[in-house]
Structure 1
Amino acid sequence: MTQVFKFGGASIQDAAAIRRVGELLARFRARPLIVVVSAMGKTTNALETLLAAARAGETEEYRDRLETLRQEHLTTVEALFGDRAGPVTERVEALITELDQLHRRHASRERPFHYDQTVCYGELLSTTIISAWLDEAGMATEWLDARDLVVTDDCHQAANVDWQATVERVRGLATDDDKIRVTQGFIGGTTEGVSTTLGREGSDFSAAILAHCLDAEEVTIWKDVPGLFNADPRRFDNAVQLERISYDEAIELAWHGAKVIHPKTLGPLQQKSIPLTVRSFEDLEAPPSTIGRDTRFDTQTPSLVLLEEQTLLEIRSRDFAFMDEPRQHDILGRLVEAGLHASLIDAGAMRLSLCLDDGHPDRLEPLVSSLCADYAVVRHEDLTLLTVRHADDALLAALSAGRDSLAERRNADTAQRLFPSTQCQGTWHIPL
């Protein structure tokens, strides 16, 4: 059965990393194998900056950034291929020229359209180099353009997949030959051949789309960490790896802000019970983490999520009326219109509390202004939200000790408490 591997930007950031990917793939002889690849390193960020310069008409900055992008990729090609770099260099140069031409052509178009026509070149460049390197290393490959495989609508920067059309195009990839199929994550195309992008976590989603269409045996996402953890190791000094969790548990953690696999990636896999494994490309012997249907391990270890830079809005009716369903409907409708997600929602008889991320002031401030026009709103800033899955009372009490809870919510599986950020600095410890 087909295997799908996905490599992110960190795993292919330079020539040394690409060589390591080649060595890794040489150890996995199972076929058919589809390899989905992101842009190299921070290339997508560089392309977004290039886009901004193109749209602002900053010609000198645009030319400088385009040349930097060109040189970074050609340096990688030279380091990999040496005096045999000619054919790959020509392909990279051709892609850079196409990118430049598209910026000139679309700089006056609406930004989402312009974005999708140009930012996709990060993945086109990386897969061109990697496919050529795998051939050089003795592994036969076939380079595939994901814009011809993943069919979407024209909702640019967040395109929706046309599943029926995509299945029809992808089916033929599951062949019995010895080739590795190399394609891009994050990008797709309309039936008219217009480039699109899939939005947040798009490369992981691409791997899931292909696996779903091919009824794959497994998806493996290769990262610089051995797997998924029950808390952020940078904030919790005794975080432990979760070797097995269910789709539902992973989705719950993602919903509450954990840096795990995005729900839109898990959905297509869950529909067909295709497991997703997270493995370390730095330590192939390290035990991986697997997300699948088995729920037996979900409650064995509590999982914790810290979200910083949070704002709490306490909203009340000006006439001291109940915070009933029509008022909640109005307030939550405004939240939807603002394009914001509430990390915590808590309702009382005369109050509705919303915990929102400070990271989108362009959306948050208009929402607050709108609510203040019709409601009494008290705002608390600089807060940290702690979410704990499968916590007992003793664990919650220990984590909350010395901290003032401004809002709380709890159900059978999840507890949330909101604290002043000044009380949440430094490293946390999970009481055992």
Structure 2
Amino acid sequence: MKIFKFGGASVKDAESVKNVSMVLKSQGFTQCLLVISAMDKTTNALEKVVEHYFYKQDYQTEIKNIKQKHIEIAKGLFEENHSVFSEISLFFDDLDSFLRRNKSPNYNFVYDQVVSCGEMISTKIVSEYLNEIGFTNQWLDARDYVKTDNSYRDGVVNWEKTAELISQLNPETCYVTQGFIGSDDNNFTVTLGREGSDYSAAIFAYCLNAEAMTIWKDVPGVMTGDPRKFQNVSLLSHISYEEAIEMAYYGASVIHPKTLQPLQQKNIPFFVKSFVDPTKAGTKVGITDKNQQEESYILKENQVLLKISTRDFSFIAEDHMSLIFSFLSKYKIKVSLMQNSAISLALCLEDKFNKVDELNQELQKIFETGIIKNVSLFTVRNANMDHIDQFYHGKSVLLEQISKNTLQMVTQ
């Protein structure tokens, strides 16, 4: 079975959904499972619904606007009396009903129940359209197959349960399902982290022993840098799993960090291709003697630089490190870069749950701290060290680190 993942940009409007069918036609619509994201900007709009709900503002107008957007897309794909319109209305009625009766003060729990609606609606529209044009498929609720713990907004997959459920799917059937979501033991929705649809595709690929997995993007493949941020970048046609994992970890937006390891474990070939021109080869990630190690550039923005030292100028010892990392785990703050000296520790942090101020307050009870927000982490993979000076030009460098042929700097 083949796994295809289509992101929000590939299903942003009616014409884009039609283009998905053209991509599938070029690839052959047999024995495949499609993982579909929410339609373009829908997740952002639903996040605003959650914010308005908790701040007791008018969230219902936001819901109406999102509903209307999906109805307009459906009008470009179906006849007026098609059942998909009642399906769309039902999704939004359920969303409104949930928010009216909800008693939970847990922001992350409510977030997952609300934001996941984007994937549910987009997949229903795509599935119905494909069936309409003769691409027979079965719509799946991913929450019935991807089982997680109850770490809302950052679910941890229960691989044993998930594999048992997914392995029951018929490999001769084509399916359409959602990325980004699973469910806990109580069948409440749990999301897998922002941009987690790639990871969902890898979960299905792993559990189905897929012959290949392809992510369809609006770029030709994995580039040596984001073309929106860097000039003169080029396509990486072949890279190893290890190189792709490193690039994703350092912040390359084209691949979700958790995606590669399940594929690598079973040596499942992984392709990143363009839905604009599906005939082009794109990038292949896997084991091959053609793998490239080109100089590549990654910019990870909206980071936080936290500097920690002891009050008595004593060494940062193992017990200090253990305590600091227990706080980081408590607040679910990810370390993007770490550098320590005898009396201080510098951490470049990714604070996706906006908890760094709480972390800082807790640390200040024991340590001296300094914090700088809105910094960027610039990484150069396979850097040409003979021309290293060029990377510093025009940058205000707060922290730097060089290991092998990888240069990293935190800049302001």
Task: Pick the structure with more helix per residue.
Answer: 1
Query: Matches of 2:289 and 2:364 in 1, distance apart?
Result: 44
Aligned partner (choices 382, 386, 394) of residue 386 of structure 2 = 394
Alignment check: 8 A CA contact 2:5 2:216 kept: yes
Aligned partner (choices 125, 129, 135) of residue 133 of structure 1 = 129
Alignment check: 8 A CA contact 1:38 1:186 kept: yes
Aligned partner (choices 60, 64, 67) of residue 61 of structure 2 = 64
Using the TM superposition, give the Cα deviation of residue 401 of structure 1 relative to its aligned residue in structure 2, in angstroms: 4.2
Query: What is residue 19 of structure 2 aligned with on the other side?
Result: 20
Alignment check: 8 A CA contact 2:26 2:278 kept: no
Q: Does 1:277 align with 2:274?
A: no
Structure 1: gaps spanning 5 or more residues: 422-432
Aligned partner (choices 262, 266, 275) of residue 268 of structure 1 = 262
Alignment check: 8 A CA contact 2:385 2:405 kept: no
Alignment check: 8 A CA contact 1:246 1:295 kept: no
AA aligned opposite 2:220: P
Structure 2: gaps spanning 5 or more residues: none
Query: Matches of 1:355 and 1:304 in 2, distance apart?
Result: 18
Query: What is residue 168 of structure 1 aligned with on the other side?
Result: 164
SS in 1 for 2:87: helix
Query: What is residue 217 of structure 2 aligned with on the other side?
Result: 223
Alignment of 1:103-142 (within 5 A): 103-106=99-102, 108-142=104-138
Query: Matches of 1:23 and 1:227 in 2, distance apart?
Result: 19
Query: Matches of 1:404 and 1:112 in 2, distance apart?
Result: 36
SS in 2 for 1:164: helix
Q: Does 1:46 align with 2:37?
A: no
Query: What is residue 79 of structure 2 aligned with on the other side?
Result: 82
Alignment of 1:312-351 (within 5 A): 312-351=305-344
Q: Does 1:150 align with 2:146?
A: yes
SS in 2 for 1:173: coil
Alignment check: 8 A CA contact 2:60 2:96 kept: no
SS in 1 for 2:298: strand
Indicate the RMSD between aligned Cα atoms, in angstroms: 2.5
Q: Does 1:367 align with 2:364?
A: no
Name whichever of 44-53 and 227-236 sits farther off: 44-53
Aligned partner (choices 177, 181, 194) of residue 188 of structure 2 = 194
Deviations 1:323-368 (A, max 9, x none): 33333334444444343233322222333222335x6694333333
Deviations 1:217-254 (A, max 9, x none): 11111111111111221222111121121222122122
Name whichever of 365-374 and 279-288 sits farther off: 365-374
Query: What is residue 210 of structure 1 aligned with on the other side?
Result: 204
Alignment of 1:378-393 (within 5 A): 378=370, 383-393=375-385
AA aligned opposite 1:73: H
Report the identity percentage.
39
SS in 2 for 1:229: coil
Normalising to structure 2: TM-score of the pair? 0.90
SS in 2 for 1:263: coil
SS in 1 for 2:34: strand
AA aligned opposite 2:319: P
